[in-house]
């Protein structure tokens, strides 16, 4: 049975790893969740990185926090949305373009709770925010497939990856990490509305998620790895069956994101694509039954 985060997980080794992170493993009982009011998801225009603001009737949630050199853009976007407090932060993996804004957030905003993939990193940015979380006594927990994060208002973030086994292996000294394919992947469920969040998951992690038999079908897909050809495999797209895709990337970025190969896949499946580099901040609103996508400029791709 799925339990509300953090659930008790089998395996003494994994429990030990969680203990080392300072995480509680006390189970919280399941509850019935019905969509109440509306949910707003803003894929923020913060350049080459990810920062996605989710607002329910009860909480402000941020999935990733932009890059170090994009902090002013993050500040501006949060000010535009009139954000004073962030109840929940979900960090998909410890690359700079996903955790680069943590210093600003911890210094300038009230933060409730931080989730990440539960694995160690030698990144100075990672070590810095973990240290500051401890100083500020902000709780940090690792997510694994099967966990569910309550976002308030009946919205739930269902975690599809990483697996408990991968987290267990990733906490063994000497393990060679592949951060993109250790991304926290999950989908928001709000009534009939669903949206897939992929971090920088590449084809390997997409394959692992499908092999696990998880329900991945989602109306909106946040394209993996900024629209890179390393992600958005044909099998994954067919399983998710998105009605639209959103890509977060910078204008004229050095990586060439989104890649032409990726865009061809979306177009072949008649999936409209919205790109922050072209469209600015992309806003999805839903009442749990229908949804609407708006953007600041340009046209969908």
- 246-274 confidence digits (pLDDT tens): 999 999 999 999 999 999 999 999 999 99
Residue 192 and residue 141: Cα distance in Å, rounded?
Answer: 28
Cβ burial 221-259 (10 Å sphere, 16+ → b, else e): bbbbbbbbbbbbbeebbebbebebbbbbbbeeeeeebbb
CA 211 from centroid of its chain's CA atoms: 20
Please tell me whether the peptide bond between 258 and the residue prior to it is cis, using omega within 30 degrees of 0.
yes
Residue 271 and residue 288: Cα distance in Å, rounded?
Answer: 21
When pLDDT is cut at 50, 70 and 90, the band that residue 17 belongs to is very low
Residue 211 and residue 61: Cα distance in Å, rounded?
Answer: 29
pLDDT single digits (tens) 111-156: 999 999 999 999 999 999 999 999 999 999 999 999 999 999 999 9
The answer to pTM > 0.75 is: yes
Give residue 301's pLDDT.
76
Q: Find residue 152's DSSP bridge partners.
A: 155
Mean pLDDT of the residues in the chain: 90
pLDDT at 26 over 50: no
Q: Residues of the chain with pLDDT > 90: what percent?
A: 86
Give residue 33's pLDDT.
55
pLDDT single digits (tens) 69-89: 999 999 999 999 999 999 999
When pLDDT is cut at 50, 70 and 90, the band that residue 6 belongs to is very low
Residue 205 and residue 208: Cα distance in Å, rounded?
Answer: 5
Give residue 194's pLDDT.
98
Q: Find residue 57's DSSP bridge partners.
A: none
pLDDT single digits (tens) 189-228: 999 999 999 999 999 999 999 999 999 999 999 999 999 9
Structure tokens at 41: 């998801």
Alpha carbon dihedral 76, 77, 81, 83, in 10-degree steps, equals -70
The answer for 152, left when phi > 0, alpha when psi is -120 to 50, beta otherwise, is left
Classify domain 37-295 at the CATH class level. alpha beta
Rounded to an integer, the average pLDDT of 19-45 is: 61
What are residue 63's phi and psi, to 5 degrees? -100, 105
Q: Find residue 195's DSSP bridge partners.
A: 188, 220
Residue 247 and residue 225: Cα distance in Å, rounded?
Answer: 9
pLDDT single digits (tens) 50-60: 999 999 989 99
Residue 140 and residue 21: Cα distance in Å, rounded?
Answer: 8
When pLDDT is cut at 50, 70 and 90, the band that residue 31 belongs to is very low
Give residue 161's pLDDT.
98
Cβ burial 156-187 (10 Å sphere, 16+ → b, else e): bbbbbbbbbebbbbbbeeeeebebbbbbbbbb
CA 155 from centroid of its chain's CA atoms: 14
**Domain range list for the chain:** 37-295
SS3 66: coil
Residue 116 and residue 119: Cα distance in Å, rounded?
Answer: 8
């Amino acid at each position: 049975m799925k339990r509300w985060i953090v659930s008790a997980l089998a395996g003494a080794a994994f429990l030990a790893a969680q203990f080392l992170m300072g995480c509680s493993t006390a189970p919280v009982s399941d509850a019935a969740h019905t969509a109440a009011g509306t949910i707003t998801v803003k894929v923020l225009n913060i350049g080459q990185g990810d920062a996605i603001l989710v607002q329910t009737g009860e909480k402000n949630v941020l999935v990733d926090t932009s890059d170090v050199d994009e902090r002013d853009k993050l500040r501006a976007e949060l000010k535009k949305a009139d954000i004073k407090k962030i109840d929940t932060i979900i960090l998909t993996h410890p690359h700079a373009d996903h955790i680069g804004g943590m210093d600003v957030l911890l210094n300038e905003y009230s933060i409730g709770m931080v989730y990440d993939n539960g694995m160690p990193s030698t990144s100075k940015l990672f070590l810095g925010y973990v240290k500051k979380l401890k100083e500020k006594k902000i709780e940090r927990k690792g997510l694994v497939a099967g966990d569910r994060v309550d976002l308030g208002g009946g919205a739930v973030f269902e975690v599809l990856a990483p697996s408990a086994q991968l987290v267990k292996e990733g906490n063994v000294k000497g393990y060679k990490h592949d951060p993109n394919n250790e991304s926290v992947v999950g989908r928001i469920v709000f009534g009939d509305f669903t949206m897939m969040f992929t971090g920088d998951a590449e084809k390997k992690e997409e394959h692992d998620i499908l092999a696990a038999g998880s329900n991945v079908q989602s109306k909106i897909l946040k394209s993996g790895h900024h629209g890179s050809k390393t992600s958005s495999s044909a099998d994954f797209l067919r399983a998710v069956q998105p009605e639209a895709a959103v890509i977060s990337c910078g204008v004229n970025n050095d990586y060439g994101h989104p890649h032409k190969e990726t865009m061809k896949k979306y177009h072949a499946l008649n999936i409209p694509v919205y790109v922050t580099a072209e469209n600015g901040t992309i806003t999805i609103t839903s009442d749990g039954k229908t949804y609407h996508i708006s953007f600041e400029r340009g046209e969908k791709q």
